Amino acid sequence: MARPVLGEDHIHPAIRQVVASHHHDIIEEVQKAVATHPVVVVGMAMNPMPTKARAALTQAGIEHTYLEYGSYFNTWRRRDALKMWTGWPTFPMVFVKGVLVGGATDVQALISSGELKKMLA
C-alpha cells in the first residue's frame, strides 16, 4: 500500500527545507522512543482514547511508554507533524516493535485476538 505523499519534485526548492524540517524535533523524539521501547503510545491530554489504550495495555500486563503532546488547547501544530509523518489521523498512535498498529480500538482488537502478545514474543 503506497500512501500518497507529495513528491519532492512538486515542492519548490526554496521551501523544501521548511517542509523537511517542520517540527522535526517531535518526530525524532517519537522515533527514538519507538526504537528504544517495545510498545509506545503517543497521545494528548484531555483525549479519552489514549487513556483507553493505556488502560487496555496495563490490564493485559503489557508495559508501555507514553508520550503526551499538549491538549486540545495547545500544541496542535506540533501534533500535526506526527500525523503527517505517520499518516494516522488521530490520537493515540500506538507502536509495537516499531510498527504503527493504530489507535485505541485497534490495540484493543490486537489484545483480544492474542496477536499483540505474538508481536511481542
Domains of the chain: 16-120 (3.40.30.10)
**Predicted local confidence at residue 112, as pLDDT:** 98
Band the pLDDT of 2: cuts 50, 70, 90: confident
Is pLDDT at 1 greater than 80 in this prediction?
no
Please report, to the nearest 10 degrees, the dihedral formed by the alpha carbons of residues 55, 60, 62, 68 taken in order.
-10
pLDDT in tens, 22-33: 999 999 999 999
**Predicted local confidence at residue 59, as pLDDT:** 98
**Predicted local confidence at residue 29, as pLDDT:** 98
pTM: 0.94
pLDDT in tens, 82-112: 999 999 999 999 999 999 999 999 999 999 9
Average pLDDT over every residue of 105-120: 98
DSSP per position, 48-115: HHHHHHHHHHHHTT---EEEE--BTTB-HHHHHHHHHHH---SS-EEEETTEEEESHHHHHHHHHHTH
